[in-house]
Amino acid sequence: MQAMSSPLILALWISQPVIQALLALVIIRRKLHRSFSAFLVYNIAQIVMFAVQFPIHRWGSTRLYYDVYWLAAALNVLLEFRIIHEIFVDIFRPYPALKDLGSALFKWAAVVMVLVSVVMVSVNPDWNDSVTLTIIVVQRCIRIVQCGLVVFLLAFCKHLKVSWRRQSFGIALGFGMFAATELLTYALFSGWRVHGTMANVTSLAGYNLGMLTWLGYSLFDQKAATLPVLVPQRWDEALLDLQPQSESESLIPMFEHMVDRALAKAPEA
């Protein structure tokens, strides 16, 4: 708790609920919560968490602050994963088949993250708190996904006609800034390249920069919309064409149908 007591760290920490309260107000006023309800819930949750954590940090016990901190981290993992799903739904809204495929992949991604955390806990028997280790592992997975999401948008925004002025792009960019900063800071801290105070300052500064990015995008007049283009339409039409007529929650029948069609069109020997 001593590393969190420097004036600069306290200033960065206290400024967070102020920015998030303003951000939540802008989201509600501009009715952005209709498409990004989880993002609004996330920001409101951060304000509530600060109201609980800050008094405990200042006047409570170290153990209590530790428990509350990791409980909040577990809740943030769930909310952030839901926000990533919201971003993809917004981007692929004009393409129903791509949106459905993305939703299915997200379900499997969640399962993989849980399995990775279970494996990490099993190979670290000396770790005293397996719950904390699980949260850390899943949290790192979320950070990697957030960084990958920004790379994906930068690589495919031209093909998908996703304007950089869209709210979904701004949310992804803000999380990407914080995720990259935290992963880099965690790596340097683990290698004893930076001390605890510097790591906390860097992490908090990265998160504040991400929040300012969200606020800027929320205030920005977004006139550019995602317009259907030829290539994504072809992907969407191909997926719809390959999908069996019978409704199924599994992707296996779709891929079996695709293989059957490919074999049927293969030239006879």
Give residue 260's pLDDT: 56
Q: Residue with structure tokens 């949310």?
A: 171
Reported as a single tens digit per residue, the pLDDT across 223-250 is 544 444 445 555 555 555 555 544 444 4
Q: What Cα–Cα distance (Å) separates residue 73 from each residue in 45, 134, 241?
A: 11, 11, 42
The per-residue pLDDT for 17 is: 95
Higher-scoring residue by pLDDT: 163, 63? 63
Q: Which long-range contacts (CB under 8 A, 24 or more apart) does 92-97 make?
A: 93/226, 94/226, 94/227, 94/228, 94/232, 95/228, 95/232, 95/233, 95/235, 95/236, 96/236, 96/240, 97/235, 97/236, 97/237, 97/239, 97/240, 97/243
Give strand ranges (E) for the chain.
Answer: none
